[in-house]
Amino acid sequence: MIPAMPASAAVTHESAHAVLRFGRFAAMGAVAVLILIAGVWASWGTAQHVMLTKGRERGTVEVSRCGQDTCTGRYSPLSEGWQPRSKVVLEKSVAVQKGRTYTVVVKPGSDDAVRSGPAGVLYAWIPLGGALLLASVVVAGGLLRTRAAWVMALSGVALLTAAFVTV
């Protein structure tokens, strides 16, 4: 403190700095949480069908044709009470190839199918892996929490790597 400066000015400066620091932590924390929520939201649309299979239509699809974004094929049910279908639609990815057979879960009320099993679960959670990587940058740079950021980043990399290996 400068001798000519009143004591109240020094307290005001310190409190203003504390308020700005709290504001930065609150804003960066909100951004990190929003990124993670978006990753879970994007993943859950597919993951719910793959992970919660009780009462859902499960079976196999033999891919007979692939287009720009989707592949189609004949569906054979594995669970009782369901009928074979001449055509179900499977999202085209690097791992889906014409002529191969995949285990799938059919989304209720549609002809859309998603891959099941470990590959399907990991593939469904890929958006969360990307969100973990992105949020780790925000946590490290904005919140200055490097350990938490490393844990998040390594979790994201592990999820993406596991999905790549299994798919």
Tens of pLDDT, residues 52-69:
988 889 999 999 998 888
Question: Does 21 fall in a domain?
Answer: no
Could you tell me if residue 50 is inside a domain? no
Where in the chain does DSSP place strands (E)?
Answer: 57-66, 70-77, 85-91, 101-106, 112-115
**pLDDT per residue as tens digits for the range 102-153:** 999 999 888 899 988 898 999 999 999 999 999 999 999 999 999 999 999 9
Confidence class for position 92, pLDDT limits 50, 70, 90? confident
Q: In the structure encoding, which two tokens stand for residue 73, read together? A: 């094929």
Which of 78-82, 83-87, 136-140 tops mean pLDDT?
Answer: 136-140
Q: How many domains does the chain have?
A: 2
Q: What is the pLDDT of residue 9?
A: 52
Q: Domain range holding 134?
A: 117-166
Residues 96, 123 within the same domain? no
Rounded to two decimals, the pTM is: 0.81
CA distance 135 to 29: 9
Say whether 162 sits in a helix, a strand or coil. helix
